[in-house]
Amino acid sequence: MTDLTELTAEALVDGYRKGEFSPVDATRAVLRRIEEVDPAVNAFVRLATDAASALGQAEASAGRWRRGEPQGLVDGVPVSVKDILLLRGGPTLRGSRTVRAEGAWDEDAPSVARLREHGAVFVGRTTTPEFGWKGVTDSPLSGVTRNPYDVSRTSGGSSGGSAAAVALGAGPLSLGTDGGGSVRIPASFCGIFGLKPTYGRVPLFPASAFGTLSHVGPMTRNAADAALMMDVITGADWRDWSQLGPVEGSFRDGLRGGVRGLRVAFSPSFGGQVAVRPAVAAAVRRAVEGLAGLGAYVEEADPDVTDPVEAFHTLWFSGAARVTQHLSPAQRALLDPGLREICAQGSGYSALAYLAAVDVRAELGRRMGRFHTAYDLLVTPTLPLTAFEAGAEVPAGSGLRRWTGWTPFTYPFNMTQQPAATVPVGTDADGLPIGLQIVGARHADALVLRAAHTLYEAGIAGIPGPTLG
């Protein structure tokens, strides 16, 4: 019999259409899967809904399918939502003991609202570090989220719960957020697909304290499901003053066409600036060779950038200080110690220092804009390493201070607002997933998805799922 937890969203919708199974069947299977695997990985906060609520949504969807009147593109598909985004019916605690659970909690974030309009079934909220501040997922509120390929390792973050959930079959679709790699980092560590769209392509409300660094994006089994999700969550929402204009056409239709003739720059180490683990470097290079074999014009070329980490820290730490500005001393004592540290640092920056970081960001964006006049896509490793021990911000013995020390390929493209995706292209000797990053010029989301989909279709992207449970 078909294991419904192993199916993509596209396959579930096709099965509903053909009457092979129902949204109730799929939702029950996902809820059972969560019960089986979540004690080992801790991917769910389970504040958004309960089994009865999810099954009620599924039953309503099943009725629509029986009548031949599906409500939308993902009617009846189980979806999880990172506990940063508003999901009506329960509190959004953002991984923090300082957020009060009391209140009406009667509003959806724009991306959640679009999914609800299309009939999605919400099975739960996924874990996040406090206010999404770091590249691994642990918090004083919900504890440590672990990697489905090895529970002694981190899932990555800050959308680590979403990545672990999708990898383990606890719903094929999840909404994540990405302010410095927070979709791509955990997707890479957990062997799934993740997309950070162009900033403003997916509306966001409330606005992030981290400003225009923070994007909302799909976390899925493959690029085709991400395109399906993008066709839903990019719908307009008046609450986001910075949203982009309407999308022309469908992201799903844009998957066709392959990569033949595309100009692709492969930067294996940002010009020697990044020390990449040999297993990661080898897997990414093999995948890039496969891309060339599919007809892309691939050239080793590095973008004209130096590491913008200090400017990123100024922007990021200032945002952290802002999001915690209202807290009392007693509430501050409840924060993640690392978060307290960066908030103290962020509160010390002057307006001139912040604007100087904005200038660095603008120059980086200009240089990447020029780079993309010569190349359609940039390919890099997503991360220079595979998942390390759970519960740590940086790998033991690395000498690094902050999570940005091991994510040099991700946060620059939050500063430039470009679309960037990660696809799994292999595993290391310990069986841990390795990701390849595809970066496009601003607004080239459809091209990034098309290139990623081509890699999946050719068998270059995609790895066997974890065996946990």
Q: 210 to each of 180, 359, 371, how far by Cα in Å?
A: 10, 16, 26
Instruction: Using pLDDT thresholds of 50, 70 and 90, give the confidence band for residue 28.
Output: very high
Residue 85 to residue 274: CA distance in whole angstroms: 33
Task: Count Cα atoms within 13 angstroms, Cβ side, for 150.
Answer: 17
Burial class (CB in 10 A: 0-12, 13-18, 19+), 216: buried
Domain count for the chain: 1
Which of residues 89 and 164 earns the better pLDDT score? 164
For position 347, which CATH number holds? 3.90.1300.10
Tell which residue, 126, 85, 128, has the closest CA to residue 108.
85
Burial class (CB in 10 A: 0-12, 13-18, 19+), 138: buried
Q: How far is CA 316 from the centre of its chain?
A: 18
Greatest distance between any 2 Cα atoms in the chain: 63
Which structural domain range is residue 332 located in?
A: 8-457
According to the model, what pLDDT value does residue 51 have? 83
Residue 321 to residue 326: CA distance in whole angstroms: 9
In a domain, 439, yes or no: yes
Residue 27 to residue 96: CA distance in whole angstroms: 29
* pLDDT tens-digit map of 223-239: 999 999 999 999 999 99
- Is the pLDDT at 47 greater than 80? The verdict is no
In a domain, 468, yes or no: no
In a domain, 234, yes or no: yes
Is the alpha carbon torsion for 220, 223, 228, 232 positive or negative?
positive
According to the model, what pLDDT value does residue 468 have? 83
In a domain, 396, yes or no: yes
HEC assignment per residue over 354-386 = HHHHHHHHHHHHHHHHHHHHHCCEEEEECCCCC
HEC assignment per residue over the chain = CCCHHHCCHHHHHHHHHHCCCCHHHHHHHHHHHHHHHHHHHCCECCCCCCHHHHHHHHHHHHHHHHCCCCCCCCCCCEEEEECCCCCCCCCCCCCCCCCCCCCCCCCCCHHHHHHHHCCCEEEEEECCCHHHCCCCCEECCCEECEECCEEEEECCCCCHHHHHHHHCCCCCEEEEEECCCCCHHHHHHHCCEEEECCCCCCCCCCCCCCHHHCEEEEEECCHHHHHHHHHHHCCCCCCCCCCCCCCCCCCCHHHCCCCCCCEEEECCCCCCCCCCCHHHHHHHHHHHHHHHHCCCEEEECCCCCCCCHHHHHHHHHHHHHHHCCCCCHHHHCCCCHHHHHHHHHHCCCCHHHHHHHHHHHHHHHHHHHHHHHHCCEEEEECCCCCCCECCCCCCCCCCCCCHHHHCCCCCHHHHCCCCEEEEEEEECCCCCEEEEEEEECCCCHHHHHHHHHHHHHCCCCCCCCCCCC
In a domain, 239, yes or no: yes
* pLDDT tens-digit map of 185-234: 999 999 999 999 999 999 999 999 999 999 999 999 999 999 999 999 99
Contacts of 10 (CB under 8 A, 6+ apart): 224, 225, 228
Specify the pTM. 0.98
Instruction: Using pLDDT thresholds of 50, 70 and 90, give the confidence band for residue 46.
Output: low
Residue 374 to residue 393: CA distance in whole angstroms: 37
State the Cα angle at 238 between 130 and 319, rounded to 5°: 30
Structure tokens at 422: 């990660």
* pLDDT tens-digit map of 134-176: 999 999 999 999 999 999 999 999 999 999 999 999 999 999 9
Q: Which amino acid is at 313?
A: H
In a domain, 3, yes or no: no
Mean of pLDDT values over 271-286? 97
Residue 181 to residue 156: CA distance in whole angstroms: 10
According to the model, what pLDDT value does residue 48 have? 41
Residue 312 to residue 293: CA distance in whole angstroms: 36
User: Any idea which of 37-51, 176-190, 320-334 has the lowest mean pLDDT?
Assistant: 37-51
Q: What is the CA radius of gyration of the chain?
A: 21
In a domain, 26, yes or no: yes
Residue 171 to residue 7: CA distance in whole angstroms: 9
Quickly count: other Cβ atoms within 10 Å of residue 402's Cβ. 18
Per the prediction, the chain carries an average pLDDT of 97
Q: Is the CB of residue 173 less than 8 Å from the CB of residue 77?
A: yes
Mean of pLDDT values over 298-325? 97
User: Catalytic residue numbers?
Assistant: 82, 158, 182
* pLDDT tens-digit map of 338-377: 999 999 999 999 999 999 999 999 999 999 999 999 999 9
In a domain, 463, yes or no: no
Residue 388 to residue 153: CA distance in whole angstroms: 5
